[in-house]
Structure 1
Amino acid sequence: MFRMMLKSKIHRVAVTEANLAYEGSLTIDAELMRAADILPYEMVYVYNISNGERFETYAMEGAAGSGVICLNGAAARKGALGDLIIITTFSTYTPEELNHHTPKIVLVDAGNRRRVLPSSP
């Protein structure tokens, strides 16, 4: 039996832009996408902590190191600049894969830059 599990999460990232005129999607800083193992055009689930909105869209790669998180198209109606959001992806896994599965969790600082935590002893 396959199970759908969390693959990756970018936690509490701030919306930096909203572009209602764009076709759609969510632009994410390329460094954050790499850290979270999210590919361009991959489906993402977005949870807006600030207003409770939830929606699905696809990821678009933004400039690396820019901290950009841009709500594009209809998604621009789901949040405002400065809103904190959670971006997640899910995947299906076999029982064997689950024995070694750990989701990638990416935490950020106030500038939407990846925060690297010191390793535990």
Structure 2
Amino acid sequence: MIADQPDYAEALCVLGMADAALGNKEDAIREGRRAVELTPVSKNAIAGPSLIECLALIDAWTGEKDLALHQLAVAVSTPGFLSYGELRLHPYWDPLRGDPRFEKIVASLAPK
């Protein structure tokens, strides 16, 4: 699919996640960044934040905690895309658990 549609941001994001899971750090980060560049929030308020979330996951899975937490902070600034429950419970976010910055982001989404 990427060969036929190299500017398909969502496919690049999924490819980046797969590469991250396989340990292909440089490829994963490049693909995630490209996806975000192709579909910024300013051009697509629906897909843009989800691609930022995807990049945060890629960064987390490749050990780039600082980058992941920065992207995650950007992603949670858009209401409705990430929930307290998702961040608190989903194993995708396990690489960030225990980091006080992650816990602060999670707490900011807690029900009042």
TM-score range, shorter chain: under 0.3
Superposition TM-score, scaled by structure 2 size = 0.28
Counting helix residues as a fraction of each chain, which structure ranks higher? 2
Superposition TM-score, scaled by structure 1 size = 0.26
* Higher RCO, 1 vs 2 (CA within 8 Å, ≥6 residues apart): 1
Counting strand residues as a fraction of each chain, which structure ranks higher? 1
Rg larger for: 1
